[in-house]
């Protein structure tokens, strides 16, 4: 029965061309007689297996429109995290918020640079699973931060808190913007 359902979903998607999720599910419910829950689950399973490619109903026409799309909240979340970490690190001296500084600083140093680099290299998010992404993010962060420190050693600023924080913030934001551009290019090609 499961193989038959897979076949029905794929044939329906093929007959519709490049369907959106709602078009495909509506067609499966109305014309094939499936229950809504079964149709959505079958579409999700086929999409997760990679045998079904779905598109958004109205693709963004430009990078600026894509930037303010709801699915790109990760970009704004990263930007806020970087800005908030910089604010906390440079302004907090009280012992009450010192632990917040440690936690944000740890994420900023040990996770974020590697995660943003992995996101640029694998922008779709389906190429590697979450555990691999986490391990590579930590490992690459442990490689990137010393390289940034080595480069800063040969600058007039040296290796102090301010140049390291600013350099890592610029690196993380540049990688986040690079990820956004790569996702938009993939999205733009997929919507044609």
CA angle 114, 117, 121 (to 5 degrees): 135
The pLDDT of residue 187 is 74
Min mean pLDDT across 24-38, 94-108, 133-147, 153-167 is at 24-38
Residue scoring higher pLDDT (113 or 50): 113
Min mean pLDDT across 12-21, 24-33, 113-122, 157-166 is at 12-21
Q: pTM (2 decimals)?
A: 0.72
- Say how far apart CA 29 and CA 19 lie, in whole Å: 14
Claim to verify: residue 82 and residue 160 sit in the same structural domain: yes
Claim to verify: residue 67 and residue 44 sit in the same structural domain: no
Claim to verify: residue 81 and residue 10 sit in the same structural domain: no
At residue 57, does pLDDT exceed 90? Answer: no
**Within-domain flag for 175:** yes
Claim to verify: residue 72 and residue 154 sit in the same structural domain: yes
Claim to verify: residue 19 and residue 73 sit in the same structural domain: no
Nearest to 144 by CA among 124, 122, 123, 174: 174
At residue 129, does pLDDT exceed 70? Answer: yes
Report the length, in residues, of the chain: 192
**Within-domain flag for 126:** yes
- Say how far apart CA 75 and CA 64 lie, in whole Å: 13
Q: Tell me what the mean pLDDT of segment 8-24 comes to.
A: 76
**Within-domain flag for 54:** no
The pLDDT of residue 1 is 47
Claim to verify: residue 73 and residue 138 sit in the same structural domain: yes
Nearest to 89 by CA among 79, 100, 80: 100
**Within-domain flag for 131:** yes
Q: Tell me what the mean pLDDT of segment 124-153 comes to.
A: 92
At residue 77, does pLDDT exceed 90? Answer: yes
**Within-domain flag for 58:** no
- Say how far apart CA 181 and CA 66 lie, in whole Å: 9
Claim to verify: residue 67 and residue 109 sit in the same structural domain: yes
At residue 55, does pLDDT exceed 90? Answer: no
Q: How confident is the model at residue 59 (pLDDT cuts 50, 70, 90)?
A: low
Indicate if the alpha-carbon torsion angle 99, 102, 107, 111 is positive or negative.
negative
- Say how far apart CA 42 and CA 28 lie, in whole Å: 10
Claim to verify: residue 83 and residue 164 sit in the same structural domain: yes
What's the mean pLDDT when you consider all of the chain?
85
Claim to verify: residue 76 and residue 157 sit in the same structural domain: yes
Range of the domain at 129: 63-190
Please give the share of the chain, as a percent, with pLDDT higher than 90. 45
The answer to whether the CB of 47 falls within 8 A of the CB of 6 is no
- Say how far apart CA 116 and CA 176 lie, in whole Å: 6
Could you give the number of structural domains in the chain?
2
The pLDDT of residue 191 is 53
Q: Tell me what the mean pLDDT of segment 80-109 comes to.
A: 90
- Say how far apart CA 171 and CA 176 lie, in whole Å: 9
Claim to verify: residue 178 and residue 103 sit in the same structural domain: yes
At residue 179, does pLDDT exceed 80? Answer: yes
């Amino acid at each position: 029965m499961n193989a038959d359902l897979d076949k029905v979903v794929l044939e329906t998607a093929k007959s519709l061309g490049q369907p959106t999720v709602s078009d495909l599910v509506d067609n499966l419910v109305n014309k094939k007689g499936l229950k809504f829950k079964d149709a959505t689950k079958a579409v999700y399973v086929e999409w997760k297996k990679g045998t079904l490619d779905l598109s958004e109903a109205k693709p963004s026409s430009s990078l600026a429109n894509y930037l303010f799309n709801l699915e790109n909240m990760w970009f704004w979340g990263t930007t806020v995290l970087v800005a908030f970490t910089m604010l906390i690190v440079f302004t907090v001296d009280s012992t009450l918020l010192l632990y917040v500084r440690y936690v944000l600083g740890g994420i900023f140093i040990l996770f974020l640079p590697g995660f943003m680099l992995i996101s640029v290299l694998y922008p779709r998010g389906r190429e590697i699973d979450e555990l691999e992404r986490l391990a590579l993010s930590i490992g690459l962060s442990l490689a990137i931060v010393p390289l940034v420190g080595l480069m800063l050693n040969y600058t007039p600023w040296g290796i102090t808190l301010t140049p390291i924080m600013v350099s890592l913030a610029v690196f993380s934001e540049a990688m986040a913007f690079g990820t956004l551009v790569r996702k938009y290019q993939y999205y733009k090609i997929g919507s044609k």
